[in-house]
Chains A and B, each alone.
Chain A
Amino acid sequence: KNEVEQSPQNLTAQEGEFITINCSYSVGISALHWLQQHPGGGIVSLFMLSSGKKKHGRLIATINIQEKHSSLHITASHPRDSAVYICAVRSDNTDKLIFGTGTRLQVFP
């Protein structure tokens, strides 16, 4: 079993829909990252969380440390949101980043 699990693996949405991507982890962590990767490979860091909730524009990230679970929400989705979204946790034991397998999101007009 992977230490970081994401769901769903693939997601298709119509423009304007509310989207949720989930991340569950099984290790103790010091921080959780949400990353966005567009075709071509470039990765952008969206959020870094250690507790609570963060919002940036139409993106919201939440984390529940007790349940070892985080969600990334996209409100009013747009075709330019089409990308792979990756959850990564920094293990508080090894201090290494462990990555989920990613969620491929496609938003159609």
Chain B
Amino acid sequence: KAGVTQTPRYLIKTRGQQVTLSCSPISGHRSVSWYQQTPGQGLQFLFEYFSETQRNKGNFPGRFSGRQFSNSRSEMNVSTLELGDSALYLCASSLTARAYNEQFFGPGTRLTVL
């Protein structure tokens, strides 16, 4: 079974631009979560989607948004990029949104904002 895939793997943008990152979960998984990892803040939860509905959201500004499609693939969008948005963005999929389901992580997208 193929693992979680994320595209693109690396991205360089300039301040003020917007970016869209994509995540394809493991086949059959219906829950996708997104995380941001920075050297200063570590790993932080962004949002979680299940069956095309956002069921949870972290403490990030409205510039960060996401969505999930009927095939469970998910995208996240960051508008008006700031230097501080430079980070590794990870997505993880699980079978359902239940707390006891194991999460499987993708390789991440490394975003650099210049």
Closest to A90 in B: B99
Interchain nearest-CB distance for A104 vs B (Å): 12
| Chain A positions 41 through 78: 1 when the CB is less than 8 Å from some CB of chain B, otherwise 0 | 11111001010000000000000000000000000000
Q: Is the CB of B100 within 8 A of A43?
A: no
Stretch at the interface among B61-69, B77-85, B104-112: B104-112
Q: Does A98 contact B (CB under 8 A)?
A: yes
Whether A97 contacts B45 in the complex (CB less than 8 A), given A41-B107, A45-B105, comes out as yes
- Counting chain B residues whose Cβ lies within 8 A of the other chain, the interface size class is 20 to 34
Q: Is the CB of A50 within 8 A of B90?
A: no
Q: Is the CB of B45 within 8 A of A43?
A: no
Interface size on A, residues (CB 8 A): 24
Q: Is the CB of B99 within 8 A of A98?
A: no
Q: Is the CB of B100 within 8 A of A48?
A: yes
| Chain B positions 85 through 114: 1 when the CB is less than 8 Å from some CB of chain A, otherwise 0 | 000101010000001101111011010000
Interface hits, B18-74 → A, CB 8 Å: 33, 35, 37, 42-45, 48, 55-56, 58
Task: Give the docked Cα–Cα distance between A33 and B42 (Å).
Answer: 16
